[in-house]
């Protein structure tokens, strides 16, 4: 990771003070993780024979392309990936999710990402992982990162048989939904709404503009081209993480 970030005024963009009541928000895919959890999950399921590669691989690639371009709706995106969970219970998915974390996800989280999270932990900030990827896939990732608070797209479960329906539930944690879910989370935890304006948020994607614009300290991490242009226009700090050698997915 590069040295201390400097904002337009020259002050360090991440305060050094300890014990401050402050939120440190982290996007996951292509921010802390050198890859996309949903895409990697589909590749993992295809390798396991759970999904038909001939049918699903081109659809997976097209959805990833549309997400990067910002041209897919939140509903279509979340529906597509949550559908991979249909027909099994959370308990039945647990062994594959654990292997997915160990074999695929953990090797793709560089030391620099862990160091970034740890820097905020040491300052006493409240850490929140906020991701469009569903909770079934990301709960173990949050634990691996040592982040207790997770905002993710929720997965509907059939009350009758306990199996995932293949549909999301509630407000999707994507685009404007990330800001809506954060505000609802603050209410749920009896925290002041003003914490949004004092928060720092790290993200790589133009899809996170609503939340980036709402926080007091937006930091773009290895941004996509559209977000880089926005960051340059707004003079937001740009962080380049040292990704280093990573294990193949």
105: Cβ–Cβ under 8 A, 6 or more apart, which residues? 33, 37, 40, 140, 141, 144
Owner of token pair 């360090």: 12
27 carries an active-site annotation = yes
In angstroms, the CA 82 to CA 73 distance is: 14
Alpha-helical runs (H) found in 19-73: 37-47, 53-69
Residues with Cβ within 8 Å of 103's Cβ and at least 6 positions away in sequence, in order, are 44
Identified catalytic residue from 29, 36, 38, 208: 29
Residues 6+ apart with CB under 8 A from 230: 206, 209, 236
Active site residues: 27, 29
């Amino acid at each position: 990771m590069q040295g201390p970030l400097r904002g337009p005024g020259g002050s360090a963009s991440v305060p050094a003070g300890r014990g401050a009541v402050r939120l440190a928000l982290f996007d996951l895919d292509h921010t802390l993780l050198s890859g996309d959890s949903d895409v990697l999950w589909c590749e993992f399921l295809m390798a396991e024979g759970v999904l038909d590669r001939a049918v699903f691989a081109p659809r997976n690639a097209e959805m990833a392309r549309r997400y990067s371009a910002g041209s897919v709706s939140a509903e279509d995106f979340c529906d597509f990936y949550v559908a991979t969970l249909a027909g099994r219970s959370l308990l039945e998915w647990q062994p594959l999710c654990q292997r997915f974390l160990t074999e695929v996800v953990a090797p793709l989280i560089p030391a620099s990402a862990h160091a970034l999270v740890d820097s905020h932990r040491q300052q006493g900030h409240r850490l929140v992982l906020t991701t469009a990827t569903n909770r079934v896939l990301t709960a173990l990732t949050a634990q691996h990162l040592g982040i207790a608070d997770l905002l993710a797209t929720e997965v509907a479960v059939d009350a009758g048989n306990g199996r995932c329906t293949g549909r999301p539930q509630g407000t999707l944690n994507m685009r404007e939904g990330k800001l809506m879910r954060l505000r609802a989370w603050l209410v749920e935890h009896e925290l002041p709404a003003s914490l949004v304006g004092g928060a720092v948020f790290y993200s790589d994607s133009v899809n996170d503009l609503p939340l980036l614009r709402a926080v007091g300290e937006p930091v773009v991490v290895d941004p996509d081209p559209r977000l880089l242009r926005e960051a340059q226009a707004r003079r937001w700090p740009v962080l380049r993480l040292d990704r280093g050698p990573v294990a193949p997915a």
